[in-house]
Amino acid sequence: MTHGEPEWDLWPLDRRRYSGYADLAYTKAKAVEVYQNEYAPAYPHEERLAGRPLKTSSLYARLKAKGAHFGARGGWERAVFINPEGSITDHTLSFRRERSWRNAVAAEVRAVREHVGVLDLPGFTKFEVSGPGAEAFLDTLTCSRLPQPGRISLAYVLTERGRVLSEFTITRTAPDAFYLIAATTAEWHDLDVLQSRLPSDGSARIVNRSDTIGTLVVAGPRSRELLGHLTASDLSNAAFPWLAAQTIDILGNPTLVLRVNYVGELGWEIHAPMEQLPGIYDALAAAGANYGLQDFGLYAMDSMRLDKCYRGWKSDIESGYSPYEASLDRFVSLQKPAFVGRDALIREAERGAAQRFVPLTLDDDGDADAPTCAPVLLRGENVGLVTSGGWSFTLNKSVALAYVRSDLATPGTKLEIEAFGKRRVATVRREPLYDPENARLRA
- CA dist., res. 44 & res. 95, Å (int): 7
Using CA atoms, how far apart are residues 278 and 197, in angstroms rounded to an integer? 38
pTM: 0.96
Positive or negative torsion for Cα 381, 384, 385, 386: negative
- Give the model's pLDDT for residue 25: 96
pLDDT, averaged across the chain? 96
DSSP annotation of 244 = B
- Helix ranges restricted to H, 162-228: 187-196, 223-227
Domain spans, the chain:
1-119+211-310, 125-208, 354-443
Mean pLDDT value of segment 44-64: 96
C-alpha distances (whole Å) from 12 to each of 9, 18, 185, 318, 364 are 8, 11, 12, 12, 33
What is the per-residue DSSP string for 278-334? HHHHHHHHHHHGGGTEEE--HHHHHHHHHHHT---BTTTB-TTS-TTTTT-GGG--T
- Strand pairing partners for 248? 255
Q: How far apart, in whole angstroms, are the C-alpha atoms of residue 175 and residue 267?
A: 25
- Check: CB of residue 153 under 8 Å from CB of residue 147: yes
- Residues 433 and 399: their CA atoms lie apart, in Å, by 9
End-to-end CA distance of the chain: 51
Class of domain 354-443: mainly beta
pLDDT-based confidence at 348, cuts 50/70/90?
very high
Neighbours of 201 (CB within 10 A): 9
How would residue 64 be classed by pLDDT, with cut points 50, 70 and 90? Answer: very high
**Percentage of the chain surpassing pLDDT 70?**
100
The pLDDT assigned to 365 comes to 84
304-335 confidence digits (pLDDT tens):
999 999 999 999 999 999 999 999 999 999 99
Q: Give the pLDDT score at 370.
A: 97
Per-residue model confidence (pLDDT) at position 2: 79
Quickly count helices (H) and strands (E) in the chain: 9, 19
1-119+211-310 fold: Gyrase A; domain 2 (3.30.1360)
Cα separation, 63 vs 70, whole angstroms: 9
The pLDDT tens digits of the residues spanning 263-311 come to 999 999 999 999 999 999 999 999 999 999 999 999 999 999 999 999 9
Q: Is 44 helix (H, G, I), strand (E, B) or coil?
A: coil
Which CATH superfamily hosts domain 125-208?
Aminomethyltransferase beta-barrel domains (3.30.70.1400)
- 100 touches 88 (CB < 8 A): yes
Residue 396 is predicted with a pLDDT of 97
Distance CA 161, CA 26 (A): 36
CA 429 remoteness from chain centre: 21
Question: pLDDT (tens digit, 9 = 90+) per residue, 192-218?
Answer: 999 999 999 999 999 999 999 999 999
Judge whether 1-119+211-310 and 125-208 match in fold. no
